[in-house]
Amino acid sequence: MTAYKIGILKGDGIGPEIVDEAIKVMNKVAEINGIGIEYDYRKIGGDAIEACGIPVEDETLEALAKCDAILMGAVGDPKYDNYPPQLRPEKALLKLRKTLGLYANIRPAKTFDRLIEKSPLKLKSGLDIVVVRELNGGIYFGEQHESEDGTFASDQMAYSVEEVRRIAHVAFKTAMGRGKRVTSVDKANVLSSSRLWRRTVIEVARIYPEVTLEHLYVDNAAMQLIINPSQFDVILTSNMFGDILSDEMSVLTGSIGLLPSASVNSDKLGLYEPIHGSAPLIAGQGIANPVATILSAAMLFRHSLMREDIAVQIERAVEAVINSGGRTKDLVEAGESHMSTSEIGDKILEAL
């Protein structure tokens, strides 16, 4: 029997609830397909702060590096807002990405047929877009400075050719399996780092002559996502721009609770998580939408375990449940009936 080792980081807020539903689904597809899964449970974010005083332990990072893939819920809570910067839950994510070399963030956004009306836009047809976001460089990892009197602060946005080149290859390879169109988003009219970004992307594009490349400034890209989102196939962009644009894109599908993500390194090790946050205000109420986490598990099988067949099984089961009327609270109007977090998970098991 093929056996895989999966690191589990439930995290904060609704994290434990949604991860539990994904684990149910993973156990079911393991049973169906005759594979074994061993789970290695670790703490991160506020969960780790409460247990050991820091957002992630070195021991956790060492253990996760030995896994085949990692599934995570979410981190963060307002009660940590006044903690020193290095002790906030979100710092664990940055350290995790950097330590494990998770440089490529892949965020797909695809509408379900029965949820097109939930989009804030009057969509005439469904969306199917992938954002490929550079995750280990840019302003989030640049040199930071703040004056002692608190009157001045700066953050450096820096990129090397190699950092841009490797993420560009991910975007073009992704496009080759889709619509063969890449839109590279930068701010090359203002930023030196963006001019390097654009030059390097053009250089990489020559290796993929079948793929059409276009460039947009980030402000125009944000506007075009609202005006005509169906024009996009693969969006390639930097760390901060990708963070913002992918959250904008997520709302177009009807709910941020539907969208998964993968953060992978060059050795296929990946961190898989919903793009939404920990939502502490609804934690423990059984109303969180687990679909994004379950679809993240599908991406885990696809990108790290190289089991496209199992990824498709999960995705088809989710689609069947959504299109047959399965809804959590975020997908219904006030007063309408809805399913609980675990009920949606159970329905997906039935579909499998």
Amino acid making up residue 169: H
Choosing from 10, 187, 329, 347, the catalytic residue is 187
Do residues 175 and 234 touch, judged by C-beta distance below 8 A?
Answer: yes
Q: Where are the beta strands (DSSP E) in the chain?
A: 3-11, 36-42, 69-74, 104-110, 128-134, 144-146, 153-155, 181-186, 212-217, 234-237, 260-264, 270-274
DSSP letter assigned to residue 330: G
Choosing from 58, 219, 267, 309, the catalytic residue is 219
Q: If phi over 0 gives left and psi between -120 and 50 gives alpha, with beta otherwise, what is residue 302? A: alpha
Look up residue 197 and give its two tokens. Answer: 């970004």
DSSP letter assigned to residue 157: -
Query: Is 243 annotated as catalytic?
Result: yes
What angle (nearest 5°) sits at the alpha carbon of residue 28, between those of residues 25 and 30?
A: 110
Three-class secondary structure assignment of 17-80? HHHHHHHHHHHHHHHHHCCEEEEEEECCCHHHHHHHCCCCCHHHHHHHHCCCEEEEEECCCHHH
Do residues 48 and 54 touch, judged by C-beta distance below 8 A?
Answer: yes
Do residues 160 and 167 touch, judged by C-beta distance below 8 A?
Answer: no
Q: How far apart are CA 278 and CA 90, in angstroms?
A: 11
Do residues 4 and 305 touch, judged by C-beta distance below 8 A?
Answer: yes
DSSP three-state, residue 214: strand
Choosing from 103, 140, 159, 272, the catalytic residue is 140
Query: Is 140 annotated as catalytic?
Result: yes
Query: Is 124 annotated as catalytic?
Result: no
Query: Is 40 annotated as catalytic?
Result: no
Choosing from 20, 155, 247, 346, the catalytic residue is 247
Choosing from 12, 77, 243, 330, the catalytic residue is 243
The residues carrying an active-site annotation are: 140, 187, 219, 243, 247
